[in-house]
Amino acid sequence: MFKFKLCGRSMTARAGIIREAGDDITTPIRVLNSREMEHGLSLEKSGLVKLNFPHQIGEVTQYIKSDSIYNMIKNAEASIGLKNQIVEKSKRFNNRITIFHPSLEKNLEINDRINEVMIDIQTQSDIDAISILDKYNSSEKEFEKRLQRSIKQIEESDSIAEPMPVIRLDTDWRKFGGKLKICVNNNINIINLVYAPIKENYVNYSHLINNMCDEDIWLHLSEVGNKIFNKCSLIHTMPLFSIDSFALKSRPLPLGKFKKIKSIPKRFDSNTLGEIDINEHKQMYKNKLNCDCFVDNFMGKKRNLNNFLKVFNGAQLLRQAIACHNTCSSFNEFIYSRDKILENDYRTYLKRKKYIYQPVKKFFKIDLKDSLLKKHY
Ligand SMILES: [Zn+2]
């Protein structure tokens, strides 16, 4: 059981607190997903790092194919198999708060039976926030009926987990606002939004800013892509839509087929909020790593970029090391940005971040270079 409390706003970003069993977790916050956790565990296994993710929240991310979900409701064995996978993934997060996010095909017909079975699996899997699934084109009436039935099912299972409706950001805009309102009216504490492209779904994103920004409801966003406008880290544009926590998209690659990083490796850079390649990194920082995450710290005195590339040699290792660096560096950056929101100085904060300029201009019509516009916010 947890509660979200809004603490402050700056521009359209919010800062809040998630209160859980006496612990306070601050937002905006980067959430560690199952894929990132697996990357970390593999690196640790190879003896190259000592795992130390600072994240207090883990998203148990499970990609489920449409066929498997239909199998699951017909066949108890398939559902036990899925439960075991979820339990296993949840355990890896140790004492962190766990959110379950199933990554599903948009057009999957999620009926009441599928939702019931999925809730059963979650209440038996030590998950703290339980996904309630919606058919993306369901009516508001259907949505509310399912939500109330699901809350009852969770309560009757004796679970103290939090009901968490899942709402896709590519939901029909005529229903999106209504569904959020239903969540508010049913005293929901956390909503799991599913990322969809901003341009095509701008009405829904604006709705969040205009109607949800004052609500004491934790808005968690899943399935965020890596980049936008070539270099900007997409996840770092998301606080501007009044969203509180964020996890990256993670769909598994086919076994043994780690895509080779053909292009020059890119790392998240907190100073620009960009995903910058090694050449740009060298121009900015020479051989310095400019980060103290557990991956970068592990090299001790030989902490530098050349050594990073030497130690994590090979496509798979490099991919894992970069994923771990990215999620830690991004986590720390969100913590830093929170102070700027509370000081109502988020705009000055963004002004220092070169790669955020373009999305802010395109989506909010704000030119960060133009100091005259400052009065608007
Ligand atoms: Zn790092």
pLDDT score of 21? 79
C-alpha 98 – ligand 1 centre gap (Å): 24
C-alpha 75 – ligand 1 centre gap (Å): 44
pLDDT tens-digit profile of 259-279?
554 678 999 999 999 999 999
Rounded to two decimals, what is the model's pTM?
A: 0.95
C-alpha 316 – ligand 1 centre gap (Å): 17
Mean pLDDT of the chain: 93
C-alpha 40 – ligand 1 centre gap (Å): 13
> Between residues 363 and 262, which one has the greater pLDDT?
363
C-alpha 235 – ligand 1 centre gap (Å): 17
C-alpha 16 – ligand 1 centre gap (Å): 26
Q: Where are the beta strands (DSSP E) in 104-262?
A: 129-132, 162-168, 190-194, 218-224, 227-228, 232-233, 245-248
C-alpha 368 – ligand 1 centre gap (Å): 27
* pLDDT band at residue 258 under the 50/70/90 scheme: low
C-alpha 20 – ligand 1 centre gap (Å): 28
pLDDT score of 170? 96
Contact, 266 vs 277, CB < 8 A?
yes
pLDDT tens-digit profile of 11-65?
999 999 999 877 899 999 999 999 999 999 999 999 999 999 999 999 999 999 9
CATH number of 2-248: 3.20.20.105
Q: Where are the beta strands (DSSP E) in 11-74?
A: 13-20, 23-27, 29-30, 32-33, 57-63
pLDDT score of 373? 53
Region(s) of the chain under CATH 3.20.20.105: 2-248
pLDDT score of 294? 95
R_g of the chain computed on alpha carbons: 21
C-alpha 290 – ligand 1 centre gap (Å): 7
C-alpha 272 – ligand 1 centre gap (Å): 14
Residues 6+ apart with CB under 8 A from 162: 1, 2, 128, 129, 130, 189, 190
pLDDT score of 196? 97
C-alpha 147 – ligand 1 centre gap (Å): 41
C-alpha 323 – ligand 1 centre gap (Å): 9
* pLDDT band at residue 377 under the 50/70/90 scheme: very low
